[in-house]
Amino acid sequence: MIIILKPDASPSDIQKVFDTVHALGVITQEIKGATTTMIGLAGDTTAISPQSLERFECVERVMKVQEPYKLAGRRFHPSETIIEVGGAKIGGGHFAVMAGPCSVESEDQILTIAREVKLSGATILRGGAFKPRSSPYAFQGLGLDGLELLKIAKQKTALPIVSEIMSSEYLDAFARDVDIIQIGARNMQNFSLLRDVGSLKKPVLLKRGLSSTIEELLMAAEYLMAAGTKDVMFCERGIRTFETATRNTLDLSAIPVLKEKSHLPVIIDPSHATGRWNLVAPMALAAVAAGADGLIIEVHNSPETALCDGAQSITPAVFHKLMTKIGRVRAAILED
């Protein structure tokens, strides 16, 4: 961190700044230029707020030199993180497709879909048991019964499970029954939930908030990692923009940006990003071409009667065709 002082800063005012930062345990180095004096701070500056230092009369500006996300960032962890769940690997050149319904509705439904997506090459089964719905009157998911049904699907297909947690109340059940814990877009900055889930040390799929910046997403990952887990995946699922033709706007540039800044895998959710089933395949393929480490896709055997997100769910037949194309795009981009 660098503190840039005003040209007319008095020695006594500068001393107050020194005293303050020394009390915070950092080492300082004064750099005197022809017109500007700066103070360089070394050591652990994570708890220092640049805004607070800018309150000093003699301080012109405070600049951060390092990113505040030390665990999620690439600086101290240059190699890619590879996450392993039940035989599936994600990241560092390993690609994973998570597929399944928005919500678990019945044993028959989840088993049928799980078998279909597995046959097409999915390596992880998605299914919501606790659903974050905009309306309190909409289907809220089957809750713990939904987790039980996912467990049955896992036993019968050997597919690991990804499912969303909405409250720390169910931490034990998720720790026991779910292989990848999903933090939904609406909870990306639920810091107590992030801490609790991080402390389980299980793989986490962290969805980007509807109006969150990439830096905020990285800091949410930092919360999970500071609490204990090493296995975090980012999930770009579309952000709110002025556009209404699609449910959200898929920020594909988040893939290379996140990969530049972080060693963690990046998953794309073309279903929630577009909200329309016929846009899922083109955006999934674009995500693969842009370097995503995986996809999470809503698949339903009867989208017309789905209890949640039928409009954006693709059928197993469409999913099957998409998987073939994903293989071709991956082969094309690996050919260099």
Residues that bind ligand PEP (CB under 6 A): 102, 128, 132, 164, 184-186, 207, 237, 269, 272
Looking at beta carbons only, is 39 or 306 nearer to Mn ion?
306
Q: How many CB atoms lie within 10 A of CB 159?
A: 26
Size of the site for Mn ion (CB under 5 A): 2
Cβ-in-10-Å burial (0-12, 13-18, 19+) of 27 comes to exposed
Q: What character string, x for contact with Mn ion (CB under 5 A) and - otherwise, covers 79-118?
A: -----------------------x----------------
- In one-letter notation, the amino acid at residue 223 is Y
Cβ-in-10-Å burial (0-12, 13-18, 19+) of 241 comes to exposed
- In one-letter notation, the amino acid at residue 99 is A
Choices 66-74, 222-230, 308-316, 328-336; region in contact with Mn ion by CB under 5 A: 308-316
3-class state of residue 205 by DSSP: strand
Residue 207 contacts which entry, Mn ion, ligand PEP, none (Cβ below 5-8 A, type-dependent):
ligand PEP
Choices 138-146, 205-213, 254-262, 306-314; region in contact with Mn ion by CB under 5 A: 306-314
Query: Tokens in use for 19?
Result: 């005293």
Give CA torsion, residues 316, 104, 191, 124, to 10 deg. -40
CB 52 within 8 A of CB 237: no
Looking at beta carbons only, is 31 or 138 nearer to Mn ion?
138
Q: Please, what is the minimum distance in Å from the beta carbon of residue 156 to ligand PEP?
A: 22
Residue 185 contacts which entry, ligand PEP, Mn ion, none (Cβ below 5-8 A, type-dependent):
ligand PEP
Please report whether residue 309 would count as binding Mn ion according to CB under 5 A.
yes
Residue 325 contacts which entry, ligand PEP, Mn ion, none (Cβ below 5-8 A, type-dependent):
none
CA 311 to chain centre: 24
Looking at beta carbons only, is 5 or 102 nearer to ligand PEP?
102
